Structure 1
Amino acid sequence: MGPPPKKRRVGLILGIVGGALAVVVVGIVAVAMLGSEVDKSFPKAEYKLTIPKTVLDGRYTLTQDLSGTQGKQIEDEADGAWDARDTKAAVGQYAATDPAKKNAGVVISGMYGRFKNTDLARKNMMQGAAKSDGAEVAVPAKDFKPAGSDVTITCQVLTKQQATIPMCAWADGNTGATVAEITPETALQDPSDVDLDAAAATAAKIRSEIRKPIG
């Protein structure tokens, strides 16, 4: 008898969610883990993620729903994770609605289902993003609790190809996602000058817009 098949841990699978931001800025990391769990110990599926036509009160408009392409890769990686059930991906790219603000955009890369290890998931989404070729962590990950939010948001600043990129993530029992708002102004900032409190508030706002009750 050979060793039992390895199964991935969702905290590390969600690193691939961070990696799905490679569409714009970052890469993929995944680590295989042994383990097994019983289904009844998972949280009930109550929320899903959507890719709406606009986000941030209409400031950004959907340009590509990538849930069926990059998202499918995330789903394939998540299949069999020992601390995830019923996983589906939600991945979208948005551009500024105002033509005068061209080259500004938002990338959302997420997964929904029933998850454990949510604190570890946020950590590994940050690590997954930082593993991209050419990416460097300029400001290490920090945890935030934006006003009115019921979840911790973790944010960091990456640099890639001389651009400054703030990135945030959340994970709860049903949803996990990374969010990057990229503007020409932010891209040229010194990483230490990036307002991560504001980035966390933006991520919390996006979560409130795309996380919806099932049914």
Structure 2
Amino acid sequence: MGAVIVILVALAVIGSTTDAGFPEAKYRLRMPGTLLNGTYKLAQDLSDTAGRKVVEENKNRSNVRDPKAVVGQFNGRGTFSRNALVVSGMYGRFKDPGEARKDLMEGSADADGASVAVPARDITPKGSDLTVRCQVLKSSQNGVTSNVPLCAWADDNTGAAVGLVTPESATQDPDDIDLDKLAETTLRVREEMREPIG
């Protein structure tokens, strides 16, 4: 699971050269004790450690203002006990959310031991007006290779990548991983972590 965290911390790099104005800060991300209606329980809040690296890498970028990081690992409960969900994101004020989604995915492939198994593509889940970007990485750490399916969202104030690793997805053919389902899960995570400021 350490490999997933390394990949997700590496991906939270948002960069752009657009000159458009910055949006007002209306939303932030919080680190809940559970996600997906209690299916996953917080195991590690890494916002003050790994998250510090995310902020340092982004605070001087031309399209980011006031970044704060939220990074956490959640472990499955009950029938999902062998699953792990990792979230790595930021909140603040961001220009060009579409470009930010692309940067999130490109940054993840730069992590040590990571390579792209299924190229990134945009997915708009049924019934949603939000687009997420998803891909599958192959992670090689300490002689062990596994798949890491990822999806990322970005809006004016929040952006994060969600990695969900199960015993099945870790070893199956990367092309068989259901990224459409992960895209839906990612937007559910967004709903549970994103809240109005004030």
TM over 0.5: yes
Partners of 1:150 and 1:32 in 2: CA distance: 24
1: CA distance between counterparts of 2:177 and 2:120? 13
Which residue does the alignment assign to 1:117?
96
Choose which of 38, 57, 70 in structure 2 pairs with 1:58: 38
Cα-to-partner distance string for 1:78-105 (whole Å, 9 max, x where unaligned): 222221111111111100122x543311
Count of residues in Structure 1 that have an aligned counterpart in Structure 2: 192
Amino acid at match of 2:24: K
CA-CA distance at 1:59 after TM superposition: 0.5
Secondary structure in 1 matching 2:130:
coil
**Partner in structure 2 of residue 174 of structure 1:** 157
Question: Which of 190, 193, 196 in structure 2 is aligned with 1:207?
Answer: 190
Find the aligned partners of 2:154 and 2:14 in 1 and give their Cα distance: 18
Task: Provide the rounded CA distance (Å) in 1 between the counterparts of 2:6 and 2:81.
Answer: 15
Partner of 2:129: 150
Runs of 4+ in 1 over 2 A off after TM superposition: 20-33, 35-38, 100-103, 147-150
Give a deviation string over 1:127-147, Cα, whole Å, max 9, x none.
111112221111110101113
| Structure 1 spans left out of the alignment, 5+ residues | 1-19
User: Cα deviations across residues 143-200 of structure 1 (Å, max 9, x unaligned)?
Assistant: 0111333321000011113211110001110001000011111111100101110010
Greater Cα offset, 77-86 or 46-55:
77-86
**Following the alignment from structure 1 to structure 2, what is the Cα–Cα distance between the partners of residues 117 and 21?**
29
Residues 148 and 210 (structure 1 numbering): CA distance in 2 closer, same or farther, change over 3 Å? farther
Q: 2:177 aligns with which of 189, 194, 199?
A: 194
Q: Matched residues in 2 for 1:32 and 1:201: separation?
A: 25
Aligned to 1:4: none
Decide which structure has the larger Cα Rg and report it. 1
Structure 2 residue aligned with 1:133 = 112
CA separation of 1:210 and 1:116: change in aligned 2, threshold 3 A: same
Is 1:184 matched up with 2:163?
no
* TM-score, normalised by the number of residues in structure 1: 0.81
Which residue of the other structure, out of 52, 74, 91, is the alignment partner of 1:72?
52
Match of 1:28 in 2: 10
Equivalent pair of 2:9/2:54 in contact (CA under 8 Å)? no
Instruction: Tell me the TM-score normalized by structure 2.
Output: 0.88
- Percent of matched pairs sharing the same residue: 46
Mapped to 1, the partners of 2:173 and 2:29 lie a distance apart of: 33
Give, in angstroms, the shift of residue 37 of structure 1. Answer: 5.6
Judging changes above 3 Å, is the alpha-carbon distance between structure 1 residues 148 and 36 closer, same or farther for their aligned structure 2 residues?
A: closer
- Sort the Cα spacing of 1:21 and 1:205 in 2 relative to 1 into closer, same or farther, 3 A: farther
Counterpart in the other structure of 2:85: 106
Q: Deviations over 1:37-56 (max 9, x none)?
A: 68xx2111110011100001
Structure 1 distance, partners of 2:98, 2:3, is 20
